[in-house]
Structure 1
Amino acid sequence: MTKFNEQTKIALVVSQFNNIITDRLVIGARQTLIQAGIMDDNVIVYQVPGAFEIPRIARLVSQIPAISGVITLGAVIKGETDHYQFISEAVTQQLATLSVNAPIPLVFGLLTTNNIEQALNRAGGKAGNKGSECANALLQLFELEQQLV
């Protein structure tokens, strides 16, 4: 199991849009990271206006030498226009590219749901907390990368 020290810092890049959802994702991610041994002060939240801004800030944060890993969290909820599709596809594509090229582990945590109820269910409701799941994914990546190096 990977051991964490006072230098292990995790960045959460979080969309402020739909913050009723993203605030809950942050809580889930933070709790999981702290339970794994990462200090609360070392879980650093970078808030961006919306999901579209997540990839740029995630890229910049991933280049900060003190940051050990990045979790991206957002919620795009389908509305009456095609905006949902364009944002979801653009952000997903950019984060996939960034994840492959980033110098540190980066985890995708963008909820894309048809309605607010589905989003709430995935942010601590009956479908679990995707923020917590993303934190667990990051912890697994740390473990795997430690084995490979």
Structure 2
Amino acid sequence: MNQPILSSPSQNSAISSKGQAPHRRRVAFVQSTWHRDIVDRCRDSFLAALAEAEWDPDAVDLYEVPGAFEIPLLIRKLAAHGRYDAFVAAGFVVNGGIYRHDFVAEAVISGLMRVQLDCDVPVLSAVLTPHHFHEHEVHQAFFLSHFEVKGREAAAACLAVLSEAYTVPLAR
């Protein structure tokens, strides 16, 4: 899925310190489809929060991968093109009762950090890795709600890292 979704000329344009023309800020939102019903809540609340901040719908591109394990590689490939000013990753790595949960969680989070450091582009994580998740009504309701919160937090963090205040060195 690669459908453009959001941003605003007032908030996602920036004039460089060299006086060059403003450029539009672009964001890629990459999510896993594992537990889609839950992870979609993160994406939807992320987009809603950006819309509330008056971002133009064409400044966010949406991508999907099968599981959280694949997120860092896709972000790395997208970062190589230089099109995006920030990335947001959303996924749900649950403990299925075997050691794999810890391995996948560590690999995904470390991979996201590596991409961020190697490519010098912010990578924001809304990849949740709870130790306790069972597919019953109580946990479903909790994580559906929690992913809505995480989506809004990711939007706030994205707006912050793309703001001029974040990118301009502080005076000493």
- What is aligned with 1:121? 145
One-letter amino acid of the counterpart of residue 28, structure 2: A
Check the 8 A contact 1:109/1:134 in 2, yes or no: yes
The counterpart of 2:71, out of the listed 47, 54, 77, is 54
- What is aligned with 1:35? 52
- Give the Å deviation of 1:48: 0.5
Map 1:1-149 to 2 at 5 A.
3-5=11-13, 7-113=24-130, 114-115=132-133, 117=139, 118-124=142-148, 129-143=149-163, 144-148=165-169
4+ aligned runs moved over 4 Å, structure 1? none
Check the 8 A contact 1:69/1:138 in 2, yes or no: yes
Q: Which structure has the highest strand share of the two?
A: 1
Larger Rg: 2
State the distance in 2 between where 1:73 and 1:20 align.
Answer: 12
Q: Percent identity?
A: 26
Structure 2, unaligned runs of 5 or more: 1-9, 14-22
Check the 8 A contact 1:58/1:70 in 2, yes or no: yes
Check the 8 A contact 1:4/1:37 in 2, yes or no: no
State the distance in 2 between where 1:36 and 1:67 align.
Answer: 19
- Give the Å deviation of 1:77: 1.5
Aligned residues: 144
Structure 1, unaligned runs of 5 or more: none
| TM-score of the superposed pair, with normalisation by structure 2 | 0.75
- Give the Å deviation of 1:87: 0.6
Check the 8 A contact 1:12/1:43 in 2, yes or no: yes
| TM-score of the superposed pair, with normalisation by structure 1 | 0.85
RMSD over aligned Cα atoms: 2.0
State the distance in 1 between where 2:97 and 2:27 align.
Answer: 36
